[in-house]
């Protein structure tokens, strides 16, 4: 709940701008109503059989409204009539309703993920529980869309605040393993570290090439015409109030932990608020850097450095040492969680949220199924087996090779995949996944240009299949036409990789190849 508090505080600040079309407002400013496009008033769910059949302007209006309730933006004049905007009355009620909606929808997703984990653990089922939850949600949406489209739309609308919240803060959930990387690689020899980097960089380029050219080849065979996709929602920039709120949490909790290191019972719980705040502040600062600086200092790197600096400062002042603080950052103990455990607790929810993005783009998936599924199946299989082969050829230790097998798969599912194998280093897994994403974010566009991958489908699938979410975020800023295919491939690559690794014969073959 600590992660959502500043969002709720900033929520109240922006409510006046987002809800100006109340009855009292319309009575005093009729000219402003007439300047609005008619399509923004068509909020009747029954006007269409499903959300995918609506025009882009109509489908985006409700989404933008809900987006404003989750991630506030600075007040600006809408449409062409900005004259009387300042005189419209504001009310805290819509903001309160939006906050409650966010908490309830996100709480249901988190509770579902927790329940599934407990049920799978009790039944000794190794298959990723969140992936099963994702399939269940997607199946429910498909069935509802077939028998009662209005219910499917209502289901999507209800959970949209949760999915937008997850989308906005997604990079934070990848960071904890990168923060504690100094502890994870301490026992890894320098020579092995160099081999891991070579496999990561060379494997990324090879996976991009295989996925991209596979998509191009299949497109030439099927010759399916490209059509516009459903609009994709984008997170809004962070508000100043959010930054100051997290800054206040950091200062107050850091001082409290310094005065009494066990004020909340354990050092991990006491350090949790300021370590979480330092991670969030690093992400906010990194997200606001100029694009040229981001190519060198990615927001995730900035985020991890911020948390590590806070750990160094507290370790020095408290004389506990940085290793002890990093150990409190990610304890992996449910009864004594640290800041990293709180953030990684959202990873299962990230997987479940894939169901909503795939359902939204279901028509696109159906139309281009040949390109999408063929490319993802080949690229995912190639990525896993090529990593095992390269590790064996250059003499990397088998346990380290197995730890980096899912290098091209998003962290949420990569950790589930390596849990199938014995003796792996999960912190190294997450760090290599993030490193792969950073390589893709910086070099994927130039590499695809050199390879001649100019088709939006090939570019989208190639990017997501080789560099998952970080590569997707980098590509979407300049190539929005490829974003839907990135979003689809981003989730499906991890899903397919998890499915094939759940087969015992596949796992045994990978272990045999790795040595």
pLDDT tens per residue, the chain (515 residues)?
444 444 444 434 444 444 333 444 444 444 444 444 444 444 444 434 333 443 333 333 344 433 433 444 333 333 333 333 333 444 456 688 888 999 999 999 999 999 999 999 899 887 888 888 988 999 999 999 999 999 999 999 999 999 989 888 888 888 888 898 888 777 788 888 899 999 999 999 999 999 999 999 998 898 887 766 666 666 677 889 999 999 999 999 999 999 999 999 999 999 999 999 999 999 999 888 887 787 777 788 888 899 999 999 999 999 999 999 999 999 988 899 999 999 989 988 988 988 888 888 888 888 888 988 999 999 999 999 999 999 999 999 999 999 999 998 888 788 888 888 888 888 888 889 888 988 888 888 889 999 988 888 888 899 888 888 777 777 766 776 777 788 788 888 888 988 899 899 999 999 999 98
Tokens of 413: 């599912």
- Whole-angstrom distance, CA of residue 456 vs CA of residue 462: 10
Beta-carbon count within 10 A of 366 CB: 9
- Whole-angstrom distance, CA of residue 169 vs CA of residue 343: 10
pTM listed for this prediction: 0.72
Beta-carbon count within 10 A of 362 CB: 17
Q: Are residues 158 and 62 in contact, defined by beta-carbon separation less than 8 angstroms?
A: no
Beta-carbon count within 10 A of 38 CB: 8
Q: Are residues 406 and 266 in contact, defined by beta-carbon separation less than 8 angstroms?
A: no
- Whole-angstrom distance, CA of residue 379 vs CA of residue 208: 8
Could you tell me where the beta strands, DSSP code E, fall in 42-161?
A: none
- Whole-angstrom distance, CA of residue 272 vs CA of residue 278: 10
């Amino acid at each position: 709940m600590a992660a959502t508090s500043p969002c709720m505080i900033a929520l109240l600040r922006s409510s006046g701008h987002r809800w100006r079309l109340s009855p009292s407002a319309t009575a005093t400013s009729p000219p402003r109503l007439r300047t609005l496009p008619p399509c923004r008033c068509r909020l009747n769910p029954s006007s269409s059989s499903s959300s995918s059949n609506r025009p882009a302007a109509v489908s985006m209006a409700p989404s933008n409204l809900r987006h404003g309730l989750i991630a506030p933006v600075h007040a600006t004049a809408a449409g062409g009539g900005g004259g009387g905007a300042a005189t419209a009355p504001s009310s805290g009620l819509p903001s309160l309703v939006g906050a409650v909606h966010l908490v309830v929808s996100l709480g249901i997703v988190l509770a579902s993920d927790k329940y599934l984990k407990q049920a799978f653990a009790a039944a000794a089922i190794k298959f990723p529980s969140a992936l099963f939850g994702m399939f269940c949600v997607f199946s429910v949406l498909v069935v509802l869309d077939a028998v009662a489209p209005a219910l499917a739309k209502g289901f999507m609308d209800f959970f949209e605040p949760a999915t937008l919240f997850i989308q906005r803060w997604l990079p934070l959930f990848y960071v904890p393993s990168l923060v504690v990387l100094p502890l994870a690689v301490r026992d890894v020899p320098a020579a092995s570290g160099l081999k891991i980097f070579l496999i990561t960089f060379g494997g990324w380029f090879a996976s991009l090439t295989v996925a991209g050219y596979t998509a191009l080849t299949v497109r030439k065979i099927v010759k399916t015409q490209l059509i516009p996709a459903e609009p994709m929602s984008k997170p809004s920039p962070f508000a100043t109030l959010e930054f100051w709120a997290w800054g206040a949490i950091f200062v107050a909790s850091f001082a409290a932990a310094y005065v009494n290191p066990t004020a909340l019972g354990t050092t991990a719980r006491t350090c949790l608020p300021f370590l979480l705040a330092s991670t969030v502040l690093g992400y906010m600062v990194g997200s606001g850097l100029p694009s040229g600086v981001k190519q060198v200092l990615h927001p995730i790197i900035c985020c991890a450095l911020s948390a590590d600096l806070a750990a160094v400062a507290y370790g020095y002042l408290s004389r506990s040492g940085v290793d002890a603080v990093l150990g409190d950052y990610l304890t992996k103990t449910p009864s004594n969680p640290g800041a990293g455990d709180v953030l990684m607790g959202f990873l299962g929810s990230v997987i479940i949220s894939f169901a909503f993005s795939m359902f939204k783009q279901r028509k696109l998936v159906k139309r281009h199924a040949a390109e999408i599924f063929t490319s993802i199946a080949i690229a995912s299989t190639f990525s896993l087996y090529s990593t095992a082969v390269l590790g064996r050829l250059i003499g990397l230790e088998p346990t380290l090779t197995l730890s980096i097998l899912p290098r091209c798969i998003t962290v949420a599912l990569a950790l589930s995949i390596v849990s199938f194998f014995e003796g792996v280093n999960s912190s190294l897994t997450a760090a290599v996944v993030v490193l792969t994403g950073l390589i893709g974010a910086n070099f994927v566009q130039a590499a695809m240009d050199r390879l001649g991958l100019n088709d939006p489908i090939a570019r989208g699938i190639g990017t997501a299949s080789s560099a998952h979410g970080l590569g997707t975020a980098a590509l979407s800023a300049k190539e929005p036409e490829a974003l839907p295919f990135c979003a689809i491939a981003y989730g499906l690559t991890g899903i397919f990789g998890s499915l094939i690794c759940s087969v015992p014969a596949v796992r045994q073959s990978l272990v045999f190849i790795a040595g």
